[in-house]
């Protein structure tokens, strides 16, 4: 496509996101709960509920403000038959266990009063078995007026009888997730109205679940047009694990992508050989191992920067872990210093950084469901204070410097290919704001000279970290200890 792109909302490039899994973040005593909840501190199970709710989030908004968070991405909040709520039963109402619609209204008002944006998770490729239209098919089979809302191949359908053929298409063959027929105009219109409804309610964005699996031509273009007509600043971000350039460049569909490519490269470099291989997940785009050196990291960063236009780059949702991956500290075999390096690279990369709830205090977790542990509010003795302080420092650093929120990113070191070095340096520039970031992900002190042809002799202020540096007229001589990082501002 050529011409003027549809630009992302300007607030996104400056935002710091926090991802909340509603059942596990915080539970308020003011929200009635059913019996049968699992103990909050017990290990999570696949099907069990902990009883987290939206009022609990409201009661902990000061925590997020203190961190420096100004946008929240929520995993699904609509009525559902699963603790993760990707099995949607009603797209127009908030799950009663989360406090219902009233709790959401209170949450939205409280967030906006604090300048915090709210982004909801939209699951539009499939529904749960409890959605009215699918349930009607289960009850009435070929007599249901909603048969063409799904891909039904025979009758009767068998949503629960695993010994019988399902007779309908579902996501990854999971019977609990029947796939919508988005070629059906009524189904498509229903989903468009969902997007519009919550935009009118005042949400600030949609995170779209598995959008690649909706093949209907023009579906996402229409979704964008209709949602943006209600709220031009509504952020639309797609869960695309691989190269998302077709989806986000020129803004015809989405403003940005969940940047798992950045996550994988950063973990492979910063965590390196400390990576716990038992945490590896089966996704070719999340290639977190084997370890890579600085040259390998430079190559993968180069691919990301080249694949996306500058406006799309700054609208990507950058992350290290999520509800779909093991926790970063667990992947790093509990090496806090490796996680710190990954966080440094996250908060100094173009795009909006997103912190998975609890990462700031060192919450651990292997694969699903263990990666969805509850936040230990009542056990501050379990918090990793070093990670908490570092997270606050890096968020504050990003907010203080426009260069760290720009699209400009220039690698300074390594200067030679194939030397196996673990030292990596780059520059970020926005007008007169010039920032240099240096990371040593190796086990030994790294020293060297970085040619810098446009460096002006002058002062260099150390903003964060530690390293020895000498700024010459056309070079930087650096010496940095193992597994550390440093950030300078050039004057």
**CA 236 to each of CA 112, 245, 324: distance values in angstroms, whole numbers, following the listed order:** 18, 14, 19
Q: Is the pLDDT of residue 457 over 70?
A: no
In the chain, where are the structural domains located?
12-125+182-400, 408-490
The arrangement of secondary structure in 408-490, i.e. its CATH architecture, is: Sandwich (2.60)
CB 116 within 8 A of CB 64: yes
| Burial bucket for residue 18 (CB in 10 Å: 0-12, 13-18, 19+) | buried
Relative orientation angle of helices 219-230 and 185-201, to the nearest 10 degrees: 30
**CA 291 to each of CA 47, 348, 442: distance values in angstroms, whole numbers, following the listed order:** 34, 21, 11
Tokens representing residue 199 in the block: 């935009």
| Residue 309, CB-side half-sphere exposure with 13 Å CA sphere | 20
Which residue shows structure tokens 């004057």? Answer: 491
For 41-85, the pLDDT digits (tens) are: 999 999 999 999 999 999 999 999 999 999 999 999 999 999 999
Reported CATH class of domain 12-125+182-400: alpha beta
For 422, residues 6+ apart whose C-beta sits below 8 A from its C-beta are 269, 272, 293, 294, 440, 441, 442, 443, 446
Q: In Å, how far from its chain's centre is CA 181? A: 27
CB 186 within 8 A of CB 237: no
pTM for the structure as a whole: 0.97
For 175-232, the pLDDT digits (tens) are: 999 999 999 999 999 999 999 999 999 999 999 999 999 999 999 999 999 999 999 9
Domains 12-125+182-400 and 408-490 share a fold: no
For residue 2, the model assigns a pLDDT of 41
For 307-343, the pLDDT digits (tens) are: 999 999 999 999 999 999 999 999 999 999 999 999 9
Buried-state track 58-86, b at ≥16 Cβ within 10 A, e below 16: bbbbeebeebbbbbbbbbbbbbbebbbbb
DSSP 217-251: TTHHHHHHHHHHHH-TT-EEEE---S--HHHHGGG
For 72-131, the pLDDT digits (tens) are: 999 999 999 999 999 999 999 999 999 999 999 999 999 999 999 999 999 999 999 999
Distance CA 335, CA 431 (A): 37
Distance CA 257, CA 279 (A): 23
Helix (H) or strand (E) holding 296: helix 294-307
DSSP 458-473: S-EEEEEE--EEEE-S
Residue numbers annotated as active site: 209, 239
């Amino acid at each position: 496509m050529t011409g003027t792109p549809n630009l992302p909302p300007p607030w996104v490039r400056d935002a710091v996101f926090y991802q909340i899994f509603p059942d596990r973040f915080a539970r308020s005593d003011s929200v009635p709960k059913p019996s049968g909840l699992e103990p909050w501190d017990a290990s999570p199970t696949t099907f069990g509920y902990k009883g987290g709710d939206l009022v609990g989030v409201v009661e902990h908004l000061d925590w997020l403000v203190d961190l420096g968070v100004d946008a929240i991405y929520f995993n699904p909040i609509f009525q559902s038959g699963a603790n993760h709520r990707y099995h949607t039963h009603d797209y127009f109402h908030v799950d009663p266990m989360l406090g219902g619609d009233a709790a959401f209204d209170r949450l939205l008002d409280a967030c906006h009063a604090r300048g915090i944006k709210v982004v909801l998770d939209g699951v539009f490729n499939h529904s749960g078995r409890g959605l009215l239209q699918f349930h009607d098919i289960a009850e009435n089979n070929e007599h249901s007026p909603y048969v063409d809302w799904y891909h039904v191949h025979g009758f009767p359908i068998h949503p629960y009888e695993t010994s019988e053929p399902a007779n309908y298409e579902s996501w990854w063959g999971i019977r609990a997730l029947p796939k919508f027929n988005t070629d059906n105009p009524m189904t498509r219109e229903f989903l468009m109205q969902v997007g519009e409804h919550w935009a009118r309610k005042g949400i600030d964005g949609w995170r779209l679940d598995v959008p690649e699996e909706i093949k209907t031509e023009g579906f996402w273009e229409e979704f964008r047009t209709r949602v943006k007509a209600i709220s031009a600043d509504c952020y639309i971000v797609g869960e695309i694990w691989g190269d998302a350039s077709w989806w986000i460049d020129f803004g015809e569909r989405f403003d940005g992508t969940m940047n798992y490519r950045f996550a994988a490269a950063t973990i492979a470099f910063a965590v390196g050989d400390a990576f716990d291989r038992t945490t590896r997940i089966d996704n070719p785009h999340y290639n977190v191992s084997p370890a890579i050196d600085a040259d390998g990291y430079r190559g993968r960063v180069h691919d990301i920067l080249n694949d996306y236009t500058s406006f799309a780059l700054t609208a990507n949702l950058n992350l290290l872990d999520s509800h779909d991956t093991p926790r970063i500290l667990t992947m790093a075999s509990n090496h806090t210093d490796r996680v710190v390096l990954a966080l440094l690279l996250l908060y100094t990369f173009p795009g909006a950084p997103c912190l998975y709830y609890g990462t700031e205090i060192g919450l651990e977790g292997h694969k699903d469901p263990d990666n969805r542990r509850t936040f230990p509010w009542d056990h501050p003795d379990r918090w990793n204070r070093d990670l908490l302080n570092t997270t606050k420092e890096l968020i504050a650093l990003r907010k203080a410097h426009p260069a760290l929120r720009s699209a400009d990113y220039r690698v300074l070191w390594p200067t030679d290919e194939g030397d196996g070095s673990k030292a990596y340096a780059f520059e970020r520039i926005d007008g007169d704001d010039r920032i240099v970031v240096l990371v040593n992900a190796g086990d030994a002190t790294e020293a060297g000279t970085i040619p810098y042809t446009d460096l002006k002799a002058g002062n260099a202020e150390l903003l964060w970290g530690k390293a020895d540096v000498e700024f010459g007229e056309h070079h930087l001589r650096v010496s940095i200890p193992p597994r550390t990082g440093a950030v300078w501002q050039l004057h």
